[in-house]
Amino acid sequence: MTPQEMKQLAELLQNVPGIKSIELEDVQGLAQLLRDSPEIGSIEVKGFFGTKVVITRTGSGAPTFMTAPAGHHPSAGATPAGGGPAPAAEGEPARPSSLLKDIKSPMVGTFYKSPEPGADPYVKVGTRVTSGQTVCIIEAMKIMNEIEAEIAGVVREIMVDDAQPVEFGQVLFRVDPNG
């Protein structure tokens, strides 16, 4: 995408209902993300009552939906939850790690366990999740991306602390699909 095409795209996005403003740098960042990440098939920006960004992966067959709700900005100064991954809940049988399935980060960014500072987390150890359920937020390029579970099961481990930087492909959660 040429710089002129990116500028035209940014100008067009200014007129989409629900999108307050989108900067040329944001469009350039999304275009660069597409160039640098062959596993990303497409990025779609939607407007109306909240800005929504849909990123589709190639090869996996399942799209990853991420949204940036209007007015949602977790505090970058949020206090981390504590040292290391959360252990399995007391009274629950431990499962061999080989039976657990990973929910991995689809991008580089900052992990947030709840929709806003002080709110209850999306999931805790022992929470049953369904495919498509929001499990966390990753902030990337000032966009809040809701990360959804691609598998159903019970969350057995949370591998990341709140407000911690994460890398592409880093394991965020370990889920027991048979739980």
Give how many domains the chain has, as a whole number.
2
DSSP state of 170: -
Give the Cα separation of 169 and 179 in Å (integer). 24
The pLDDT value given to residue 25: 73
Answer yes or no: do 178 and 107 share one domain: yes
Q: pTM of the entire structure?
A: 0.49
The pLDDT value given to residue 172: 96
| Boundaries of domain holding 16 | 1-71
Residue 147's domain is classified under what CATH number?
2.40.50.100
Angle, helices 24-36/3-14, rounded to nearest 10 degrees: 120
Tokens of 122: 């999306």
| Residue 80 to residues 16, 27, 101, 121, Cα–Cα distance (Å) | 36, 31, 25, 13
Residue 24: inside a domain: yes
From 33-37, 81-85, 120-124, the region with the lowest mean pLDDT: 81-85
Residue that finishes a domain, picked among 16, 37, 71: 71
Give the Cα separation of 72 and 143 in Å (integer). 9
Answer yes or no: do 100 and 163 share one domain: yes
Residue 28: inside a domain: yes
Give the Cα separation of 148 and 67 in Å (integer). 10
Nearest to 22 by CA among 68, 63, 75: 68
pLDDT at 127 over 80: yes
Q: Which residue has the higher pLDDT, 111 or 46?
A: 111
| Helix (H) or strand (E) segment spanning residue 25 | helix 24-36
